Structure 1
């Protein structure tokens, strides 16, 4: 029976993608404790495709399952289940691909009890895992971690330029009509790539608040001016290229020194 549910989860994308009846039939195919055990087995698989498909199924079971009453019992049991505990352990996996998708899954399944674990992950990885930071902070924000600005400030004040560069990606989270102090500091950073991208992101934020009081002509002029300072090298783009470099070499771990060397040689 466990093999049946495992196969249903692994075939989800092909046989039942976003089909709430398929999801409901799957989560009700056996007692929750047995189902949770099967899901944990899949999550802990060394096969990345197996892990990825299981994460997709879980996210959709929570997101789309709300539309189907037959899924509500699973949704109610999920937050305090061993499934969430297994995911929390995988936040500290030695495979950065699994770490990133785990954090995404915890966020998108509204695992509010995991906020403490994600905060602990930030403390551990702030200066050692720049590939993970933007997603980590985004999901911490999604789950409503208190004083998110405090975590971003720590990134912006880090001694690691890669961590500071990652903080630039978070400028767009600002909702105030005034730039936070840490964003202003990034505009003056000693590292040119950070300064250039921070200036661009700050101008995009300022444009958001200026647009309502500008004429159509002024709006177009401002948009063109900002477009001219768009950086040719961004942290996001660099992360994608470095991730591809790691994948092409069969690597799932890296050091800050590895990342820095890649940037220097690019």
Structure 2
């Protein structure tokens, strides 16, 4: 299903996007050396409830997972990259943490992810990887607009990631979003320009470049959810929900400037 939202629904999407951005930035500020991933999950749960919103994850049970997910946010550390199931782990200095959050409010969902390094250690390889996913996300957003095609976005993202030297996995990528978290169209992180669905105003997309340092192969944890790099290398993931407008694309999950 591909949804095209009207102006009323788009206004709701902006509210949901702002909430997702606020929660992620708050959780980032609280994520320090010694912070337990289960505490991050509890903080997310409390903020979602306080806003009168609903988690898109807690009851999430797709065919590829051992569902339901049962938690309120994805917390992926170091070699984990997607669907990181919160567990009893205390963050260490230099850990690369990805927080991925999807929330629904007033019937419209928004989805975003951020990767950052915990503590004072800043391994250069991790910094470079995070930067590559952020640049790829910006390139994908710049390629989006009415009349553009999904392949244009995929090509823009893939070009940045490839030029940075990272292998690209195409099993998981971006997606349509609206009244539900995951919708068509699928947005792969590499592709050919001029191909695929033509974008229309009112379409919401969650774009999410992610990479693993030296492999494109994933393995699944015993928890049935957490996806890790097959080689144990570090990973990074950046995501925004955007709305296609009459003259381009608007980022709905952009944090407010302090």
The alignment's TM-score, normalised by the length of structure 1, stands at 0.26
The alignment's TM-score, normalised by the length of structure 2, stands at 0.27
Q: Which has the higher helix share?
A: 1
